[in-house]
């Protein structure tokens, strides 16, 4: 039996997936059917230097091929848009546009986020090592970065996939320092129309 310290509330413990290849194939098939995802999210950031957790809430949007929008609404307004190879960051009235190709770390984060949503991250065995677990309602994939630089920052990424539709229900990023960020996705809508304006830099 594996030891998973963070368990989804009210769920049974996780055990090894008996046939990871079948899971990855099914995930690939189901992910190809998804063109858009919109959901609410709750982010919990745990920092060793702070006694209290930092809780943020907002909306998440994804649209194929490479469009992501993280819209933080509480406790403050903050916006991050990933569109193709560009990133827009808006903090209140301040805006900054970055090219992911000029910032290797932002490029890797963008690739990881897209890969998590689309399920393609698990196929990148050159840059990531994965372990597969399941319980009654979710699959849990622990992903370990292998690239120098990134693995010094991120120790492992935990991705929870719903067994009902193979979409991501929770994402955890565990840093080498021991700090971690946990994001729960709720009220998901799959393949509902999302206007291109959601990913506009204007």
| Mean pLDDT in order along the chain per 10 residues (202 residues) | 42 87 92 93 90 92 92 93 88 84 73 80 88 95 88 90 93 90 95 94 74
The predicted model scores a pTM of 0.87
Give the domain range for residue 74: 18-185
Asked if residue 194 is part of any domain, the answer here is no
CA distances from residue 29 to 117, 118, 119, 160, 165 in whole angstroms, order as listed: 13, 10, 10, 17, 11
Asked if residue 196 is part of any domain, the answer here is no
Asked if residue 62 is part of any domain, the answer here is yes
Cβ–Cβ < 8 Å for 126, 95: no
Asked if residue 198 is part of any domain, the answer here is no
pLDDT value of residue 194? 96
pLDDT value of residue 10? 47
Asked if residue 173 is part of any domain, the answer here is yes
Count of structural domains within the chain: 1
Domain of 152, CATH number, reads: 2.50.20.10
* Nearest in space to 42 (alpha carbons), one of 57, 30, 29: 57
For Cα atoms 189, 191, 163, give the angle at the middle one, nearest 5 degrees. Answer: 65
């Amino acid at each position: 039996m594996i030891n998973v310290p963070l368990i989804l509330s009210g769920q049974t413990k996780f055990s090894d997936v008996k046939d990871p290849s079948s899971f990855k194939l099914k995930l690939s098939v189901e992910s190809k059917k998804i063109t858009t995802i919109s959901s609410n999210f709750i982010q919990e950031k745990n920092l060793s230097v702070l006694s209290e957790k930092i809780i943020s809430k907002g909306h998440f949007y994804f649209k194929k091929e490479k469009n992501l929008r993280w819209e933080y609404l509480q406790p403050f307004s903050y916006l991050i848009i990933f569109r193709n190879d560009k990133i827009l960051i808006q903090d209140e009235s301040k805006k900054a546009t970055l090219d992911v190709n000029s910032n290797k770390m932002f490029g890797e984060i963008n690739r990881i986020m897209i890969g998590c949503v689309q399920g393609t991250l698990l196929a990148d065995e050159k840059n990531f090592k994965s372990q597969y677990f399941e319980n009654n309602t979710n699959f849990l994939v622990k992903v370990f970065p292998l690239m120098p630089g990134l693995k010094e920052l991120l120790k492992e990424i935990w991705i929870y996939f719903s067994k009902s539709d193979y979409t991501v229900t929770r994402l955890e990023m565990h840093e080498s320092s021991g700090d971690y960020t946990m994001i729960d996705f709720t009220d998901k809508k799959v393949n509902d129309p999302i206007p291109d304006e959601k990913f506009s830099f204007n």
